[in-house]
Amino acid sequence: MSGEFEFVWPTAFDESEREHLSASSINMLMRCEQQYAFRYFEGLKAPPKAAMVQGSSVDDAANFNFRQKILSGSDRPLPEVLDAAATSFERRKDEIEDWSMSPGAAKDGVIAMTQEHHTSIAPKVQPVAVQEEFWLYSGEWDLPVLGFKDVRTSTETRDLKTTTRTKSQKDLESDIQAGIYLLASHASQEAERFVWDQIVQLKNGPKVAELERIGTQASYDITIRMVAVAEQRIAQMRESGIFKPADPSHWACGYCGYRNICPYIHD
């Protein structure tokens, strides 16, 4: 595919309210069109699950450490980072309506995952930018794509994932977020290497599983096509008012925050 694309830093303009696509919105569209319609056409926001709040709290603590490391070159002491994780969880936990674990167990998990990240991942990362916003444009689609890079170093973009299941290299190679972020790195002439820093919650404690993906022209072409198809399908949905649901037996339906109002579910 020969379509040109452009990478733009947000400091050049204020586009915060402009309609756009993102990796998360495209993932939601591919998972369930009805869920996408609830979120983006009707503006309904489902409350986060406990696992999502855990992940956000671990990410907040990592950002707290990495932002100062850009200039200092050194990690903060572990107690400071653990305190940041606990504070973030206490601030966010009231958003949770459906607890799959006790609040105490959820907080303990946040502390354990944060400690694992700080001892196993953080020491080998020297950030250049943290939570770096970008807008990606292409002649192949009309809407811009908005993204936020967790951590950018001089050699890679790193993304922190907290999960209960270790994702595979195949998962990473087909991941739309990784594809978009690599395309953005290619467009901005940065290092075209993407790393998943997975912190996997296990019964005997968290473990780290790191995967990497290198950008190629073939993968960029696939990502451009996927975004273009998503944009086209959104326009069709908006015009027709018809939204294809996920298979009700899919695992995502059991965790969907819109389950109680979904016209395809009868509990």
The 8 Å CB, 24+ separation contacts for 166-175 are: 166/198, 166/200, 166/209, 167/196, 167/198, 167/209, 167/211, 168/211, 169/211, 172/196, 172/211, 172/212, 172/213, 173/213, 173/219, 175/213
Q: Where are the domains of the chain?
A: 5-239
**Phi-psi group of 253: left, alpha or beta (phi > 0 → left; psi -120 to 50 → alpha; rest → beta):** alpha
> What pLDDT is recorded for position 221?
95
User: pTM of this prediction?
Assistant: 0.90
> What pLDDT is recorded for position 5?
53
Tokens (6 digits) for 114: 């944060």
Q: Does CATH number 3.30.420.40 belong to domain 5-239? A: no
> What pLDDT is recorded for position 6?
56
Residue that the structure tokens 């075209």 belong to: 192
> What pLDDT is recorded for position 265?
85
**Phi-psi group of 259: left, alpha or beta (phi > 0 → left; psi -120 to 50 → alpha; rest → beta):** alpha
- Distance between alpha carbon 4 and the CA centroid of its chain, in Å? 25
> What pLDDT is recorded for position 102?
92
> What pLDDT is recorded for position 1?
43
Comparing CA positions, the residue from 85, 64, 89, 60 lying closest to residue 76 is 64
Alpha-carbon distance of 4 to 11, in angstroms, equals: 22
Longest Cα–Cα distance in the chain:
55
> What pLDDT is recorded for position 9?
47
Residues of the chain with pLDDT under 50: 1-3, 9-13, 15
